[in-house]
Amino acid sequence: MATSAPVTPGDTPGTRAKLVLGQPTFKTVNEDIASIVESKPTPKYLLGLMFAASILLVMVGSLVKLVYSGVGVWGLDNTVFWAWDITGFVFWIGIGHAGTLISAILFLFRQKWRTSINRAAEAMTIFAVMAAGIYPAFHVGRVWLLYWVFPVPNQMSMWPNFKSPLLWDVFAVSTYATVSILFWYLGLVPDLATIRDRAKTKLRYLIYGILSLGWRGSHRGWLSYEKAYLILAGLSTPLVLSVHTVVSFDFATSVVPGWHTTIFPPYFVAGAIFSGFAMVITLMIVARKVLGLEHMITIRHLENMSKIILATGSMVGYAYAIEFFIAWYGAVEYERYAFLNRMFGPYWWAYWSMVSCNVIFPQLFWFKKVRTSIPALFAISIVVNIGMWFERFVIIVTSLHRDYIPSSWTYFTPSIWDISLFVGTFGLFLTMFLLFCKFLPVIAASEVKGVMPQADPHGDDHHGKDEEAHAHG
Amino acid sequence: MSAAKKPPKGDGLLPKELVESWSKIGYGLGALGVAAFAAGMLGADQARFGAAYLVGFMFTTTIAVGALFFVVIQHLTKAGWSVAPRRIMEWLSQGLIASAVLFVPLVVMAPKIWHHWMGEHAAHDQVLVQKQGYLNQPFFYARAIVFLVVWALLATWFYKLSREQDSTGDRKLSDKLQVAAAPSIAALGLTISFAGFDWVMSLDPHWYSTIFGVYIFAGCLLSSHAMLALCIVRLRKDNIGGNLLTVEHQHDVGKFLFGFVVFWAYIGFSQFMLIFYANIPEETVWYLHRWNHGWHVVSMGLFLLHFIAPFLMLLSRTAKRDPRLLAAGAGLLLFMHWVDLYWLVMPNFDEHFHFQWVDIAGLLAPVGVTAAWLSKRVLADPVYPLKDPYIPEALKAENL
């Protein structure tokens, strides 16, 4: 344990590793990022896009079938009235959380390394929320009446049920989506202006000119911008907690054994951040390679994210343990049964998949070798996302499938439409992400420039000598 | 680097007069604490004193655990800004050594305090019989020993290495501390949760709540940062720490304090809302005990003065940078932390809300002993880590 592990050059106590490797100048940073938008798409990219879009078509097809035939096409029954639908919803909403955490909380904590990954993570958040939104939107059955979820004044005085956590979800998720989009867009403005200024074609100049809202990069502009950014960061910070808290209320306010437990809110939030960072790692590993951004999204960025995964994964493990302990300690037979049934009942395979993916495998991140190995990071990030899907499935289905009356006990199996819709949402997510990579700056160029040594007004980033002086002073 | 950004000159020690006067206060409190303890033990209602003492013990212990958590997480995250205030938290965490001793009276009074499950009638209680595997005296004390020893060892070790660096300036010490920080955080999280279950939640042994450990932990974070804010304001008043402990660090600590006010409220609300909404009698009874017979005043007081008032007080930038406003908020929170613990413990002993003088005695005893111990242990040491490699960064900390 105590043996001093080999450290990345420069990352020793008192000295920070460089955030952008090589010999970058402001110009090369612009160049590296804007050229992705300006160059013609490669055949590989088009192939990828076509692949993603075909999965998206699977989603469209599943939805057409769903609307045409009704929710009955899913594998639900009277006992297990919620399964892959809400699992998919919570899965995607959870994934979104890394974006908000990186953009809001890490910003407030002055974590400068966030600048290379925040843009893509924020974009991912928005696409994940879109994928999540598909589920409740179509689960209402008549999707064209979806606006009924909002408290729209009407002649019949028909209101949504304000006491229902599902309605709180409507407010929580729509607020989250709105603020995430605002935050993302605000950050994009200076970079969009950069692309506008570099534009070689009229059309590009026009489109990015409109999108950049007349940004001129003036002193006054930057002053207002920084203030707005800070305020939005402050406002989004509670959102990191509130959205998944309300999602956890969907379950925890009920009296279903396995659902009603007070630790749910922070436990869900930790799980959401856990899965979100896993998805960011998965996407970033591919993106940095394909787009040639390895000097900006460095191994150290990935390593930091893997540490957050280890931390939040341990919190999730803590919650599993405490839930289990209190189920026993509480001495309520239904609770005790629910948890034993999770582990050893008909869905034992789901429970143990969840535990191994979420608690056991992430422990490998205790080792620096694993944290800095791209294949290991990639594999574990995917394992974590599988595990987090299982977590929601375990909570939802194993708690429901044993009803209070044994005659209503069932065993849920998904229908082909359950599966196709879930697979299809990946199509939506990936298509959107690929389009984002091509048409918008993937990395926040203006922010990256801000954390480079050249941007330090004191120009005293050469620690070594100064520090020695202090050490002996 | 401009001339203003040099660490303070000298040995970083507190001025002699201050050490003297603060020691006097510390030892004075200690004497008062011992007297209060004697009076409480000789008093008529020993169960009440036991409960009050438990509140006081939890008060000093949670502050110290929170302080230790702060120290450890700064190493874990390799934080730069926090080098300036870190030593104060290292000092506060030394209270855990006093806590290990202060637990002894709890052992003596245990049958009166945890009488619901330690008493004879527990054997005839259908629910408690099922919990005997956990709620039995040998295991209870064994766990307590583990918690207290782990805390005291961690507090000692993290402080020892930090002091070593004061003289050697060896960067390898920072490496060591950083490596040890991660498992230490895990140990702290588990021990404080189960200490919360054992010492507070089991006072009402039928009741259970999975978030309870997190609630106690939130109290640790909040109270220790409140204490830190008060210390910073006091030190800065005499310009101790010079340009290393600036208004910027005070501001940052204020932000954390504000954040933890919300975190505490979030955890408290999560517990309350879910129990209220599901409305299961086994669970709601706990809140009923904290509402009926006058306790609603304390419950509402917690909501208003532990959350609403400090939230509004600490929200603005001005408040966090103004020493008086920040101290007012921190002082209020520290007091409310005691009220919070009182609210957790006391309704188990008294259905009616009655404030009694022994409640103060129960607080004074652990606070006095801890204060005296800290005076002896830390006041002669430098007030910031003299040669921490992150000092240049701490000097640069700025809130734009």
Interface contact A322-B193, CB threshold 8 A:
yes
d(CA A101, CA A107): 9
Between A and B, how many residue pairs show a Cβ–Cβ distance under 8 A? 118
Buried b (16+ CB within 10 A) or exposed e, A162-196: eeebebbbbebbebbbebbeebbeebbbbbbbbbb
Interface contact B270-A473, CB threshold 8 A:
no
Among residues 206-265 of chain B, which lie with CB inside 8 Å of chain A? Answer: 208-214, 255, 262
pLDDT of res. A130: 95
Min Cα separation B347/chain A (Å):
20
B81 in contact with A, Cβ within 8 Å: yes
**Continuous H helices in B81-211:** 83-93, 95-113, 115-118, 126-131, 137-168, 171-195
Per-residue pLDDT for B265 more than 80? yes
Q: If pLDDT is split at 50, 70 and 90, which confidence band does B13 have?
A: confident
DSSP code at position B202: G
pLDDT of res. B7: 66
Alpha carbon B56 to its chain's center: 11
Structure tokens at A10: 């420069």
Q: Pick the residue of A329, A359, A365 with the most B CBs within 10 A to test the interface with B by mutation.
A: A329
For residue A386, which amino acid is it?
I
Which residues touch B30 (CB under 8 Å, ≥6 apart)?
A: B368, B369, B371, B372, B373, B375
Min Cα separation A393/chain B (Å):
21
Min Cα separation A303/chain B (Å):
13
Search chain A and give the residue with CA nearest B128. A331
The domain spans of chain A are 26-140+157-451
Specify whether the CB–CB gap between A463 and A138 falls below 8 A.
Answer: no
Interface contact A470-B1, CB threshold 8 A:
no
Contacts of B174 in chain A (CB under 8 A): 13-14
**Segment B184-202, tens digit of pLDDT:** 999 999 999 999 999 999 9
Min Cα separation A225/chain B (Å):
13
The beta strands (E) that lie in chain B are given as none
Interface contact A263-B134, CB threshold 8 A:
no
Structure tokens at A444: 């926040």
d(CA A445, CA A447): 5
Interface contact A1-B1, CB threshold 8 A:
no
Q: If pLDDT is split at 50, 70 and 90, which confidence band does A459 have?
A: low
Search chain A and give the residue with CA nearest B272. A262
pLDDT of res. A141: 85
**Segment A323-332, tens digit of pLDDT:** 999 999 998 8
**Segment A196-251, tens digit of pLDDT:** 999 999 999 999 999 999 999 899 999 999 999 999 999 889 988 899 999 999 99
Of the candidates B175, B277, B392, the beta carbon closest to that of A463 is on B392
**Segment B272-285, tens digit of pLDDT:** 999 999 999 999 99
Q: What is the mean pLDDT of residues A91-119?
A: 88
Q: Average pLDDT of chain B? A: 92
Per-residue pLDDT for A473 more than 50? no
- Among residues B275, B340, B271, which one has the least CA distance to residue B301? B340
Q: Left (φ > 0), alpha (ψ -120 to 50) or beta: where does A9 sit? A: beta
Tell me whether residue A3 is exposed, middle or buried, using C-beta atoms within 10 angstroms of its C-beta: 0 to 12, 13 to 18, 19 or more: exposed
Interface contact A266-B174, CB threshold 8 A:
no
**Segment A173-198, tens digit of pLDDT:** 999 999 999 999 999 999 999 999 99
**Segment B233-264, tens digit of pLDDT:** 999 988 887 788 889 999 999 999 999 999 99
Interface contact B174-A13, CB threshold 8 A:
yes
B400 in contact with A, Cβ within 8 Å: yes
Alpha carbon distances (Å) from B281 to A165, B287, B298? 21, 10, 22
pLDDT of res. A133: 93
Q: If pLDDT is split at 50, 70 and 90, which confidence band does B9 have?
A: low
Search chain B and give the residue with CA nearest A255. B278
d(CA B268, CA A368): 37
* φ/ψ (deg, to 5) at B81: -60, -35
